[in-house]
Structure 1
Amino acid sequence: MALYLNTNAAFKDFQMLRNDRYFVDKSAMIQKVNERVNTKNRFLCITKPRRFGKTSALNMLGAYYGKAYSSKELFDHLKISRSQSYPVHMNQYNLISFSMNELSGQGNTYLDYIFSHELYQENQRDFLEFLRNLLKDRSYVALAYMTGVLPIKKYSTGSALNMFDEYTMLNDCCFDEYFGFTEQEAEMLCCRQSQLTLTELAEWYNGYSAWDGRKLYNPRSVVLALINGICRSYWTRTGKLDEVLFFLKYNLGEVRDDVIKMVNHMPVKIDISEEYAAGQKSPSNREEIYAAMLVYGLLSYYDGELRIPNKELMLEFQKALKDEEFGYVAELVRNSNEMLNATLEKREEAVAAYLHDIHNSKKAWSIFYW
């Protein structure tokens, strides 16, 4: 566990972010957080997929609240500076930060390393109780801000950390606009260069949904595309390369049909109320699989409909469906481009042969995407 007391790490990191050509001002978020300081609602947990600005937001908050430095120059011209609470809380607090990602290799208990999906089930309760005793009803805590990919692990009908207000990809009516780029923000960034158009960025990286239905762009992919001057899939350049396939294999029979629909740009109607949490066992049914995929940002969900958000993720699903473990579906996917070419080239006999094979198969799917 990396533990820091009143260092300038967050300040330095946010300073570098401010210097970036494609910096987007998300400091209005601080106003909403200020409203919770030294109140009963001072415990916040915001979970978002990788590359959705979690670390940037964390560093922004640390740079603003920490008392070991003066951050006035960093924030004076940002949106938060127009708030009445701006001078009240700036650089007023002792700041303690620690990362739960840095695991020790010494053992298997929470005393040896910090909680993650790798922590054994029997130790999860102990660690959550440790955090609860550290934070809950403690007058020295002015604000507790937790962030990561997975929601808080629950070991009963309640949670050891039930004092936290959680905001996730499925349940965020308060902070969603601060994680991901809005249409206006993507357009603003696009104007800072001349190689890519907003239409290209939208096709590749738009498609996630805010609480009110507004579309959100994958922020890290947008920035990389603008820096490199080319739209392509940047998804596989972070994290596990096989995340899509990993979840699809859990429940191949039921999930496969839905995925085929989504690959063909057709939404899937489903009610997803339960969320996939930290330390949870592998998903065991259709709803749990999709809840996990939503948490990881592999799908988008709005108004009861699941979708593949954009071209970047569509490419990952198409790659996954070509895996040999998908048997007949993988064969169809491999043959789809050949059928498309035969159609465009007006090779009637070849097209008829493909259609004949599909018609006589155990089950036929429409998987031809272009």
Structure 2
Amino acid sequence: MRKYPIGLQDFGKIRREGYLYIDKTQLVHKLIESGSNYFLSRPRRFGKSLLLSIIKEIFKGSKDLFEGLWIHDQWNWEQKHPVIHLRLSQIDYKNHGLEIALSRELDFLAKEFEVELIEDSLALKFRELIREVANRKGQVVILIDEYDKPITDYLDDLNKALENRSVFKSFYSVLKDADEYIRLLLLTGVSKFAKVSIFSDLNNLYDISLDPHYATLVGITQEELESNFKDEIAVHQRSQPDILSKLKEWYNGYSWDGNSSVYNPFSLLGFMKSGRIQNFWFQTGTPTWLVNLMKDNHEFKLDNVRMGENELSSFNVEHLTSLPVLFQTGYLTIKHYDEESGLYELGYPNREVEVSLTDALLSAYRNIFPGSGSMAVTYDLGKALKENNMPQMFKVLDALISTIPYDHWKAESESIFHIIVHLSFKRLGFDLQSEVHSATGRCDALILTQQYIYAIELKLNGNAQAALDQILEKGYLRPYGSDARKKIAIGINFSSEKRAVEDFLVREVE
């Protein structure tokens, strides 16, 4: 059995104890030799902490750990530098407050370097540590892991988030005028504060988050998958010949340049260990506040979203908008970049994220606890649609609607039904187009399966005949006239009083 480093962030432990390591040292070498002040944003569990651990061991001169790796014969191991490694997820800011927790961590680091600090204020103490260590042991390497966690942990507590942001603004400002003492500076995190208040005084950081040269610095490429997991893939192909395409569909697709893509390492390693395709990454920490923010903004369609780099990089705790947050936290990724317009097109990275996020949203819009039967019900819905079993489809839709608790019933418009229908079908992976515009009107939903094309029109407290007539009169299925698949028009009327599908009509269109 191979040892997979699931959740491991210590490069030394991985190498000494024989865990699998996919060699990224050529890109790491390029990073540390071509610049000195960097910022990198990536989603959680993507290998940021491991990246910093690798860099730390390089500058410590731990040559033996790199035996057999690309960098082993490309680096001068005699040139060592002291490493100030701040792991903000490990300091106790929740119990002691950020300023005290950071001050204690600086004291601990000072002891490691046999330096006595005399400054009292946090910023001056940090500056003193950098200068004293550099003067005694040479230029320092500063690695700050999860630099933003004490802020992102409090996005549901604005006052605390702002308090911690203020602490960081002063703390990080010390780095601006410390170039002569620093060999390398790298900050990593999830959010992109690089262009707003925290780093307003630290304008010498080079943000490599969207730099094509470092798009595969963390994550696993297709080539790395096939070369490092040949034996595992061969075993799975005996029973699942299409396993490579399944893995790509479920765990690949993350891109930060619109060109190259990588697998989620946490999920891919989870599959290699368990042998099952399932949700690994999403269930490790999707914040409820993010799903609720989307619900409050009536957001549910996340395909073909376009935005510029400034908007993509924004993360203002006082005025949070969900789309940039969804991108930075890994629920959306870059599908295409248009150099002429400077616009990025975003979408779901893969099936794992799409299925899981739509399930969470479906639960939120229905005001029920996530996982309360949604998967089984929507599976029945998909089966009915594939088989063109309309009575069963309406029975399942009725079940989805009727389970919304009475106290949370807010169906004052068609939107709640539209959203639930959209999310239910989207979760199943159908080719779904919602609110499709044409020259004659707007169809609520178009769903394409292998055998059928469905046009669905929804009404609230009206009648199904009017919904069906609208599809036929507006010609919503006309653009598909040459398509060999059967075309089905479906009119559905919901009753807010009964909280149910009141009536429906179905007609095949020639």
Given candidates 45, 53, 57, the residue that maps to 1:51 is: 45
Q: In the alignment, what sits opposite 1:189?
A: 228
Q: In the alignment, what sits opposite 1:161?
A: 202
Determine if the alignment matches structure 1 residue 16 to structure 2 residue 13. Answer: yes
Contact 1:136 1:163 in 2 (8 A): no
- The runs of at least 4 aligned residues of structure 1 exceeding 6 Å deviation read 352-356
The aligned amino acid for 2:214 is F
Q: In the alignment, what sits opposite 2:63?
A: 72
Contact 1:342 1:350 in 2 (8 A): yes
- Tell me: CA distance 1:191–1:90, structure 2 relative to 1, closer, same or farther (3 Å): farther
Determine if the alignment matches structure 1 residue 234 to structure 2 residue 283. Answer: no
TM-score normalised by length of structure 2: 0.56
Superimposed CA distance per residue, residues 162-198 of structure 1 (whole angstroms, 9 cap, x where no aligned partner): 2211222xx2223221111111011123313223632
Determine if the alignment matches structure 1 residue 273 to structure 2 residue 310. Answer: yes
Q: In the alignment, what sits opposite 2:362?
A: 322
Q: In the alignment, what sits opposite 2:26?
A: 28
SS of aligned partner of 2:85: strand
Task: Report the Cα offset of residue 308 of structure 1.
Answer: 1.1
The aligned amino acid for 2:11 is F
TM-score normalised by length of structure 1: 0.76
Structure with greater strand share of residues: 2
How many equivalent pairs are there?
Answer: 330
The aligned amino acid for 2:22 is V
Q: How do 1:243-322 and structure 2 match up within 5 A?
A: 245-252=291-298, 255-256=299-300, 258-259=301-302, 262=303, 267-271=304-308, 273-275=310-312, 280-283=317-320, 288-303=321-336, 304-322=344-362
Q: In the alignment, what sits opposite 1:340?
A: 382
SS of aligned partner of 1:174: helix
Task: Report the Cα offset of residue 205 of structure 1.
Answer: 0.3
Report the Cα distance in structure 2 between the residues aligned to 1:26 and 1:90, rounded to whole angstroms.
Answer: 21
Contact 2:43 2:330 in 1 (8 A): yes
Q: In the alignment, what sits opposite 1:127?
A: 168
Q: In the alignment, what sits opposite 2:218?
A: 179
The aligned amino acid for 2:205 is F
Identical aligned residues as a percent? 24
Task: Report the Cα offset of residue 123 of structure 1.
Answer: 5.4
SS of aligned partner of 2:29: helix
Given candidates 233, 250, 253, the residue that maps to 1:204 is: 250
Task: Report the Cα offset of residue 45 of structure 1.
Answer: 1.3
The aligned amino acid for 2:311 is E
Task: Report the Cα offset of residue 21 of structure 1.
Answer: 4.8
SS of aligned partner of 1:162: coil
SS of aligned partner of 2:22: coil
Determine if the alignment matches structure 1 residue 93 to structure 2 residue 81. Answer: yes
Superimposed CA distance per residue, residues 49-106 of structure 1 (whole angstroms, 9 cap, x where no aligned partner): 111111111111001101xxx52222242112353xx11x665111111122223345
Given candidates 63, 67, 82, the residue that maps to 2:57 is: 63
SS of aligned partner of 2:297: helix
Q: In the alignment, what sits opposite 1:104?
A: 93
- Tell me: CA distance 1:212–1:241, structure 2 relative to 1, closer, same or farther (3 Å): closer
Structure showing greater relative contact order (alpha-carbon pairs closer than 8 Å, 6 or more residues apart): 1
Report the Cα distance in structure 1 between the residues aligned to 2:388 and 2:32, rounded to whole angstroms.
Answer: 65
Superimposed CA distance per residue, residues 93-149 of structure 1 (whole angstroms, 9 cap, x where no aligned partner): 111111222233455563454862145425534432332225533422111121122
Report the Cα distance in structure 1 between the residues aligned to 2:196 and 2:347, rounded to whole angstroms.
Answer: 30
Q: In the alignment, what sits opposite 2:191?
A: 150
Task: Report the Cα offset of residue 216 of structure 1.
Answer: 1.0
- Tell me: CA distance 1:298–1:212, structure 2 relative to 1, closer, same or farther (3 Å): closer
SS of aligned partner of 1:45: strand
- Tell me: CA distance 1:178–1:63, structure 2 relative to 1, closer, same or farther (3 Å): same
Gaps of 5+ in 2: 1-8, 104-147, 155-159, 238-242, 337-343, 402-412, 430-510
- Tell me: CA distance 1:28–1:106, structure 2 relative to 1, closer, same or farther (3 Å): same
The aligned amino acid for 2:305 is V
Q: In the alignment, what sits opposite 1:7?
A: none
Task: Report the Cα offset of residue 355 of structure 1.
Answer: 9.6
The aligned amino acid for 1:310 is N
Gaps of 5+ in 1: 1-11
- How well do the aligned residues superpose, as a CA RMSD in angstroms? 3.5
Q: In the alignment, what sits opposite 1:9?
A: none
The aligned amino acid for 2:365 is E
Superimposed CA distance per residue, residues 207-248 of structure 1 (whole angstroms, 9 cap, x where no aligned partner): 111425122110111111111222211024422464762442
Report the Cα distance in structure 2 between the residues aligned to 1:157 and 1:120, rounded to whole angstroms.
Answer: 12
Q: Rg bigger for which structure?
A: 2
The aligned amino acid for 2:317 is Q
Q: How do 1:135-146 and structure 2 match up within 5 A?
A: 136-146=177-187
SS of aligned partner of 2:213: coil
Contact 1:63 1:71 in 2 (8 A): yes
The aligned amino acid for 1:99 is R
Contact 2:45 2:266 in 1 (8 A): yes
- Tell me: CA distance 1:325–1:349, structure 2 relative to 1, closer, same or farther (3 Å): closer
Q: In the alignment, what sits opposite 1:6?
A: none
Task: Report the Cα offset of residue 340 of structure 1.
Answer: 3.3
SS of aligned partner of 2:203: coil
